[in-house]
Structure 1
């Protein structure tokens, strides 16, 4: 892919991924920040996306989708965006599950003088 094609694919995937994580967004903007982080290097995984698509393109009812190379940029972007959104949501869930105990160890009052 050319750099222009990768840029277009990134933009389209970003739009779709941001839309998918919108229900998980809060005032911190963490969900969209995670999407941007994962999109920063998505082109390193283009071969993995193609392989995953091709390996799973047959539906349980027997319908078969075209191979990765034959689908439009928009379809590829939706597939990449969906995967990136799933990664962002999974990371949000992991953060939430470990976040409950982070305030268990409060600092000593005298430690403020050392900061």
Structure 2
């Protein structure tokens, strides 16, 4: 019953996220790259896409739980993934007067340093 609740809520989140992404994509295609609004619109787009991805993961979990979808492992670039997440918080940090710096090493370590 709990899992069905999460599935239902996940489906309800998908529609508004899609309705947010469509106008943001139109805004991004219509504004100049040098516009001060470009960065904000890109942050909205990345955040909405991230939320949609998380909702899709919840729905995929349900499929895996009932055996309709096998678990698929894939290799990825953890540094790029971390930097993408980091960039979502950059504007928020700047609005609060904080400086964020990310330092990545491609060999064995990856550090996220918040100053």
Which has the higher Rg, Structure 1 or Structure 2? 1
Same-fold status (TM-score > 0.5): no
Per residue, is there more helix in 1 or in 2?
1
Relative to the length of structure 2, the TM-score reads: 0.29
Relative to the length of structure 1, the TM-score reads: 0.29
